[in-house]
Structure 1
């Protein structure tokens, strides 16, 4: 404070400036978090951009978990629902549950289809069967929700399991998207006022690599990339619908919107099975994660779709991960996503090393020896 040159007035100001900086940084962070929380709860929603009343919706993986929750809420909103899964007995039970929630009993229609969505031809059959059931019109909303996680360390996991994880968590969505878009993008003289929606369910695992998710996370990251790329490609077809020099029947019947939903942990029968094979170090990394019920995650996803979001997260932690990992993906809200992205990039300076330390410490304490005969 007092040096050889005498009194230094800036010495008094430095702590004050630092305290003020910390105060305002904290205040801004609190405001951003509060706005994000209100946004998740739908307080800033305007016109409903995902109105499903009277429209036909396909949901794969619809017999349990998030898929069943989605189907119930969309039934409550007046949609005609088609659920797809492998096991007919589970489909029958789910269909009763979903039908009981109908907004307009007797007017809405419900259908279940038993199919293996990891087979390309089965997805073509699904779209064709639903189109026939829907009086010759393709479905309005197709939700590629089927998925299954088989966590495990990379070297411990047989390659056939890693391949099957890619089949279920990427290729099933790619096959359904391909069949759907080939149906939707055909030139048509019919012009619909409401857009059609193609939705995929990914996972927050697409944002960050966690030890023990190598069989699962790459497939969900590939799905996110597929959604980004399709969204870009579809601008061409959506733009063609506004080409005044083209013939009226030379463009698709409706504009097509693509969305990717990125939930975190969901309380479901699938989670019970995951925890049976999940490595202990993965459980350590997931400590403190917020688990949502099937109804909570479904309600949050649909609420965000109604506001017109593209990459849909279902809780605040997911929002933080999304903002920090957007890259070239579209922003749902450019201001909030930019500010939150800055904060999260700074936070990763601490979060990343902490996660690395936990895995390293587990190996130091427990040991880690690969034994091929145990795989």
Structure 2
């Protein structure tokens, strides 16, 4: 291998880096934990269910990834300080924060329950803000280094096709996350911290499966230029770009990983 190729590959190398991934026990969070761990990061995953975390940790360890886990509800403000304490204790510092934990709820806008609205916003925005603020203040700003990667959605870039989902709070929260990403990138760039967001389209996960079943996988695939849904590998390259030195000059950006769906 040439020296130039070796250097190019090192741009994606995460050896010696640490990563905290919320909602990391399954679905997109676990996929991103695999990607970051495979490229050398020490990984801490958190989610709400012990058994799923243990299963995910075992899967990551089988890949040779250094992984730890903590059971926590990232939507509860009183849980955030403890999560940050634990993360700092186990990782030393947090270089990469992947804000992946999220919730959705379907109901017509005119009848949308307030408690459902609050549940979605408390996790998707309020808890995410508190965690990012604490990690920034305690680990990233003092060291003048950090990578914040927010998991938004193409639902934050547009409405829903007529006759499909009725998820007003989810769309609104992900739209808020899109501009949260830009605003935080503008402030924290002075500290050497990049802040970016991924906006996935439809991936078969437990959270999206009900919608996929309701509309039909073939129908959803037909609505995307690439005629397919996302798979178990499709977020890996994008999260690695934002987490590694390859993306050190990218900040405040929203990258849709959606088979081209947001382009039409």
TM-score scaled by length of structure 1: 0.59
- Contact 2:148–2:196 (CA under 8 A) maintained in structure 1: yes
Q: Which runs of 5+ in 2 are unaligned?
A: 1-7
Tell me the distance in 2 between the aligned counterparts of 1:286 and 1:124. 41
In the alignment, structure 1 residue 312 sits paired with structure 2 residue 255: yes
In the alignment, structure 1 residue 196 sits paired with structure 2 residue 146: yes
Secondary structure in structure 2 of the residue aligned to 1:295: coil
Partner of 1:221: 175
* Match among 229, 236, 243 for residue 298 of structure 1: 236
Offset of residue 49 of structure 1 = 5.2
Secondary structure in structure 2 of the residue aligned to 1:111: strand
Tell me the distance in 2 between the aligned counterparts of 1:304 and 1:112. 22
1:21-60 to 2 correspondences below 5 Å: 51-60=13-22
Q: Count matched residues.
A: 245
- Contact 2:204–2:212 (CA under 8 A) maintained in structure 1: no
1:167-198 per-residue CA deviation (whole Å, 9 max, x = no partner) reads 122222112111111113554xxx67xx4211
Secondary structure in structure 1 of the residue aligned to 2:109: coil
- Contact 1:56–1:139 (CA under 8 A) maintained in structure 2: yes
Q: Which runs of 5+ in 1 are unaligned?
A: 1-45, 103-107, 239-254, 322-350, 352-375
Tell me the distance in 2 between the aligned counterparts of 1:284 and 1:156. 27
Offset of residue 51 of structure 1 = 3.5
Partner of 1:9: none
Q: Tell which structure's C-alpha radius of gyration is larger.
A: 1
Tell me the distance in 2 between the aligned counterparts of 1:125 and 1:218. 28
Offset of residue 260 of structure 1 = 0.9
80-89 vs 121-130, which deviates more?
A: 121-130
* Match among 75, 79, 90 for residue 37 of structure 2: 75
* Match among 261, 267, 271 for residue 204 of structure 2: 267
Tell me the distance in 2 between the aligned counterparts of 1:185 and 1:52. 16
Tell me the distance in 1 between the aligned counterparts of 2:221 and 2:129. 29
1:299-349 per-residue CA deviation (whole Å, 9 max, x = no partner) reads 44334655424322224415x54xxxxxxxxxxxxxxxxxxxxxxxxxxxx
1:102-153 per-residue CA deviation (whole Å, 9 max, x = no partner) reads 2xxxxx532110000011232221121111112xx32111111111222332
Tell me the distance in 2 between the aligned counterparts of 1:186 and 1:76. 26
Tell me the distance in 1 between the aligned counterparts of 2:54 and 2:137. 29
1:1-375 to 2 correspondences below 5 Å: 51-102=13-64, 109-134=66-91, 137-184=92-139, 187=142, 195-210=145-160, 211=162, 212-236=166-190, 238=191, 255-275=192-212, 288-289=223-224, 290-303=228-241, 306=244, 307-308=246-247, 309=250, 310-317=253-260, 321=263
Offset of residue 53 of structure 1 = 1.7
TM-score scaled by length of structure 2: 0.82
Offset of residue 284 of structure 1 = 7.4
